[in-house]
Amino acid sequence: MLENSTIQLSELLEQSDNTVVFTGAGMSTESGIPDFRSPGTGIWTQNQPIDFSEFLASEEARKETWRRKIQIDPVMSAAKPNSGHVAIAQLVQAGKVSSIITQNIDGLHQKSGVPDTRMIELHGNTTYCVCLDCGTRHELQPIMQAFATDESLPFCRECNGIVKTATISFGQPMPEVEMVRAKEASLKSDLFISIGSSLVVYPAAGFPLLAKQNGAKLVILNREPTQLDAEADLVIHDEIGPTLNSLKLNSL
Ligand code: NAD
Ligand code: ZN
């Protein structure tokens, strides 16, 4: 069964002139970062999410956000790209995959060697910070160290604005440039492969549908059924790393 579906996926990749890969939290579970919706991964769900408006309005909400970040960061910082990330990076290097649209905030595709120009991060990145007013980048470690010492909140060295991890929080507007790039990439693709996403978070999950409606073949690789399985041309319910590493491509 697996053999058959990986042969089919290999054939679709060989035939494609423009493949887009779309990844969700399942992409990084083999790197030790729990996803949201697999059973028993309460790390993300122990606490109610802090809405962006609350973060802006309340000093206490910002402090709580940083307390949680410090609690979760050791898992993120220790994570390394897994064999699935490496297989996708090889497809990018070989010119088979044009873009990676990701919902992940862990930066592991870039760490596996995918250039920034090929990446579209829909939900931002938690490995660094930005000023919400002027966009200046701030490094994470000094901010976390200062906060751990006396709970001092970070402000921008340029404009004194509020500094936050470069992620898109609940209630925060989606990043405009990334949304445009993701739409363009989806429309240009003739093969769209969704990997490790339950496809329930919108607007992100709209891109596989957009690509499919525009004529692309849709492949879903996920351990469990997803919301869009019925729309897909090929569904593979299996582990990501082993599946991607068993692809047989002449052009690689
Ligand atoms: P999700 O948790 O809703 O779905 C993940 C899916 O991946 C699940 O259906 C699960 O069955 C599958 N899965 C997990 N490990 C797998 C494996 N090794 N092989 C095959 N399938 C596997 O994730 P989502 O759709 O990305 O939505 C969650 C949201 O949470 C996203 O918006 C994302 O920004 C955020 N998030 C990010 C990270 C990260 O950056 N690594 C981690 C957790 C959550
Ligand atoms: Zn600033």
Quick: pLDDT tens for 11-48. Answer: 999 999 999 999 999 999 999 998 877 666 555 566 78
Q: Are strands 137-138 and 124-131 parallel, antiparallel or unpaired?
A: antiparallel
- Ligand 1 neighbour 196 (Cβ under 6 A): yes
Residue 236 CA, ligand 1 centroid: distance in Å: 16
Strands 217-221 and 234-236: parallel
Strands 217-221, 124-131: pairing is unpaired
d(CA 192, CA 17): 11
pLDDT given for residue 21 in this prediction = 98
Global confidence as pTM: 0.94
Per-residue pLDDT, averaged over 135-159, amounts to 97
The average confidence (pLDDT) of the chain is 94
Q: What whole-number percentage of the chain has pLDDT above 70?
A: 95
First to last CA, the chain: 23
Identify the three-state secondary structure at position 14: helix
Q: What angle do CA 249, 218, 209 make, to 5 degrees?
A: 150
36, 105, 122, 169: residue to mutate for ligand 1 pocket, most atoms within 8 A of CB: 36
Q: What is the pLDDT of residue 44?
A: 57
When pLDDT is averaged across residues 102-117 and rounded to a whole number, the result is 98
Active site residue 138: no
How much is the pLDDT for 249? 84
Q: Which atom of ligand 1 is nearest to the CA of 240?
A: 19
| 173 neighbors 123 (Cβ within 8 angstroms) | no
Amino acid 41: pLDDT: 57
Q: Per residue in 164-217, pLDDT tens?
A: 999 999 999 999 999 999 999 999 999 999 999 999 989 999 999 999 999 999
CB-neighbour burial class of residue 106 (10 A; exposed 0-12, middle 13-18, buried 19+): buried
| CB of 198 shorter than 6 A to ligand 1 | yes
Query: Given 85, 123, 138, 237, which residue is catalytic?
Result: 123
pLDDT, mean of residues 67-76: 94
Neighbours of 130 (CB within 10 A): 20
- 135 CA to middle of ligand 2, Å? 6
